[in-house]
Structures are given as C-alpha cells and as structure tokens.
Structure 1
Amino acid sequence: MTPGIRQDGARVVPLRPLRHEEGAIRVDVRAKHFGRTQVLRDVHFSVSRGETVALLGPSGIGKSTLLRIVAGLDRDFDGSVQRPEEMAMVFQEPTLLPWRSALQNLLLVHPGLTPSEARAALDRVGLKGREDAFPRALSLGQQRRLALARAFAGRPRMLIMDEPFVSLDPRLANAMLSLAEDLIAEQRPATIFVTHARAEADRLASRVLELRGTPATLTPHPI
C-alpha cells in the first residue's frame, strides 16, 4: 500500500503532535471504513486539558474503533487527530502480567520511576503493602487499582479509559469512580471515558457525547 493512501484510494492523514493548545486533543474523523462498510462519519470533537468527555453508545457502534483512532493505533481513516504524545490507557481488563508483582508490573511500564516513586504510586491508589503481590493474589478491585496506578504514574497529558469499571459491584465501582475522579483532578489530563452507564458518565464527565446511527456519528448530550 502506498504510504498515505488506502487500498480503496482514500487519503490517510497521519497523526500529528498537538502544537497550539498544549495537552489537548482534537479529533476530526470524516470517515472510517472496514472494506466497503463505513462505520464512522463526521466525528468531530475536542477535549481540553483537565476536561473529561464521556463517550456513550451501544455495543458494536464503533466506540472501540474511535478509541483506536484517537490513540494512534489505527491510522487508516479519512481525517486527522491532534493529541499530546504523553498518553495512558485504562482498558476493560487490567492486562497485568501474571508472572510479575504489582510493583514489577508498574515499573515495566514506567522504567524511569525509582522504586520509592513506584511504591508511592501504588500507595496513592490504596495498594500499600501489596507491592510484592502477584496478580493472582489480588482481588479484581485491587487489579483495577493497579491499572489506574500504571496509567497515572507517568502523569499523562492524555488519558483514555475504556469501560474501566465494568463487572464491578456497585460499591466497588463507586470507590473506583471516586479514585479516578481524584487522580484526574490532581493531574488534569485531557480524558476520554467510554462507558455504557449513564450514571458513571454524569458523575465523571464534564461533557457527554453519544455515537448513533449507521455509519455512526456523534450527538451531544446535556449534563
């Protein structure tokens, strides 16, 4: 495939680092296709530093596709994305290495941290005393806390969270939401938060957007 040109002839615009508003995200996706099927159309939005935008939509609508585009993992689309280079992602699953301890999982992603800094990051999310525990010895809630520690330890300018509280019971989900709120308030990244729960969006987000239609496009929601 010729660089910058899709096989179907559409132009591919490369990801560009943001130059003007430091720490912000600007997304302009005119179209995204899988083969001949268009899945996204005219998806345009921006996220300022310190702002959290919640992205809603039914399963299969294209939320994960949009996140991959925003993260720079999928560049085969018509449009452009501007974002800071310092990015962190929190997935639905904690994606921990089972043969490494909590501390080692953190240092693997952030090798520049000193052991004391890494321990402080674990302490910040409520994992003090669990630094040497392996994932199998951690509860699901503790694994999700470790995932948050891993995301925030590098002080990202941009944060993507893809349903990070799914499958948690209401009490634990509430505690994790409170922790995420505090960490976002402390570090103020530009945050995109995907959820199926409108209550989570209302609590965590300053703005709510929803993907609708075929191909999917964005509809703003009042807070």
Structure 2
Amino acid sequence: MIRIDVRRKAFGEEEVLRDIRFEMEIGETVAILGPSGVGKSTLLRLVAGIDTAFEGEITRPENIAMVFQEPVLLPWRSVIENLTLVHPQLGSQAALSALERTGIADRAGLFPGQLSLGQQRRLALARAFAGRPELLVLDEPYVSLDPAMAEDMLALTEALIAETAPAVILVTHSEAEARRLARSCLRLAGKPATIIEEFAAAPGRAS
C-alpha cells in the first residue's frame, strides 16, 4: 500500500499544498489533474522523494522510477548507455530488448541530441520501465507532442504498464489521458492547493 499524506508544503512563506491524502496499491494508476502552477509537479517530487521538505508522511516502495515533462537524459552518453548506466544489472541484450520494446533499438548507438523529441520520450520510458519499478511517477510525459505522436506514446505506456504492473501516479492536463490510463482521478485546485474532487475513470477500468 502506498500512502500519501501531505499536510503542508511551502516554499518560504508561500504555502503551495495542504491536506492532500490518498492511498493506492501496487498495480493501480491514479491521475492528478489541475491547472498549471497549482502544485502537481511539486506533489510528484514529494512522492518520488526528490523533495523531502514538507509536513506529513509518505509511505512508498524503494523501487521508484520517474519520467519528467522534459526527457532528462545524459547527453554525452549513447542511447543504450542511458539505460545501462542507470540500470547496471542490465546486460547489453536486455538493454537492447528494452529499446526494441519502445521502438528505438535502431538508435542504440546515437546520442540523445540526435533523437527527435518523440524518440527521446521513448528512451525516457524505456529507462523508467527497464528497472521494473513498483512505483512509476509520470509528470506530463506527453506534453508538446503532436496528437498522432501523443497517441502512440499513450498506447506504448498502456502496454508497458500492463506488462510490468507498477503503481502509477500520472500528472496531466488532459482528462482524456487521465480517464484512459487511470482507475481514479484527483483534481487539485486552490491556493494552497488541495484535492477538490475525486472521481473514477471510465467504468470497468482495470487497476
């Protein structure tokens, strides 16, 4: 069980989050919705353990992966090295299989700067899923993509989640994305932000 209890998060005198509480299980996907600047990415950084300066308590597994709004890649390392350096337990064949699964095995020897934005996003997904995380945190992973590419990435994410079954927390502006990937959705609003609405995704949606 993953438990999020953020009683208060502030930057200096500015309080940005208050009384955000929810629970989820491994294999469940929860989407976080809300306007720009409300504090969604701040909440994800708390969940992932990147930021620990808050009042409250978060119970989470140790094996966590995060995909940011912009692909955070090592520009001086090749595509395949971006996997093997983060996951040293992967052999070259396993790393190539992960790249093949995300459709970029033929780019293994290139550097991130030689990839399109869509290919960089695929590499970020490959790196996240290669470690088979128990908790996957996605911070608007489809932003800035054209509709066709976003659809391809959504389908790929769905397939990878089905294969590895982590708990997933997805931040998105798109209610359609949330309803497609998540079982339950939380909407943040206010200043400081709190949960103003919780609703189920499409009826019958699996965890």
TM-score, normalised to structure 2, is 0.93
Comparing 149-158 with 26-35, greater Cα deviation is found at 26-35
Q: The residue matched to 1:165 in structure 2 has which SS?
A: coil
Structure 1 equivalent of residue 184 of structure 2:
207
Instruction: Report how far residue 95 of structure 1 moved.
Output: 1.4
The superposition leaves residues 179-210 of structure 1 with CA deviations (integer Å, 9 ceiling, x where unpaired) of 00010111111100001111111111111101
Report runs of 4+ in structure 1 exceeding 6 Å deviation: none
Q: Residue 217 in 1 paired to residue 194 in 2?
A: yes
Contact 1:70 1:81 in 2 (8 A): yes
Structure 2 equivalent of residue 69 of structure 1:
46
Q: Residue 193 in 1 paired to residue 170 in 2?
A: yes
Q: Residue 171 in 1 paired to residue 152 in 2?
A: no
Q: Residue 49 in 1 paired to residue 19 in 2?
A: no
- The answer for unaligned runs of 5 or more in structure 1 is 1-23
Contact 2:185 2:199 in 1 (8 A): yes
The superposition leaves residues 43-76 of structure 1 with CA deviations (integer Å, 9 ceiling, x where unpaired) of 0011211111110111111111111111112222
Structure 1 equivalent of residue 68 of structure 2:
91
Contact 2:66 2:128 in 1 (8 A): yes
Comparing 133-142 with 167-176, greater Cα deviation is found at 133-142
- The answer for unaligned runs of 5 or more in structure 2 is 202-207
Structure-2 separation of matches of 1:134 and 1:32: 38
Instruction: Report how far residue 41 of structure 1 moved.
Output: 1.3
Of 116, 134, 139, 2:111 maps to 134
Instruction: Report how far residue 37 of structure 1 moved.
Output: 2.6
Q: Residue 159 in 1 paired to residue 136 in 2?
A: yes
Contact 1:47 1:191 in 2 (8 A): no
Q: The residue matched to 1:55 in structure 2 has which SS?
A: strand
Instruction: Report how far residue 36 of structure 1 moved.
Output: 2.6
The superposition leaves residues 17-47 of structure 1 with CA deviations (integer Å, 9 ceiling, x where unpaired) of xxxxxxx321011111222332111100112
Instruction: Report how far residue 168 of structure 1 moved.
Output: 0.4
Contact 2:183 2:200 in 1 (8 A): no
Q: The residue matched to 1:129 in structure 2 has which SS?
A: helix
Structure-1 separation of matches of 2:106 and 2:41: 35
Of 120, 127, 133, 1:143 maps to 120
Structure 2 equivalent of residue 16 of structure 1:
none
Instruction: Report how far residue 213 of structure 1 moved.
Output: 1.1
Instruction: Report how far residue 111 of structure 1 moved.
Output: 1.1
Comparing 124-133 with 143-152, greater Cα deviation is found at 124-133
The superposition leaves residues 78-124 of structure 1 with CA deviations (integer Å, 9 ceiling, x where unpaired) of 11000000000001111112221110111111111111111111111
**Percent of pairs with identical residues:** 61
Structure 1 equivalent of residue 7 of structure 2:
30
Q: Based on CA coordinates, which of the two structures has the bigger radius of gyration?
A: 1
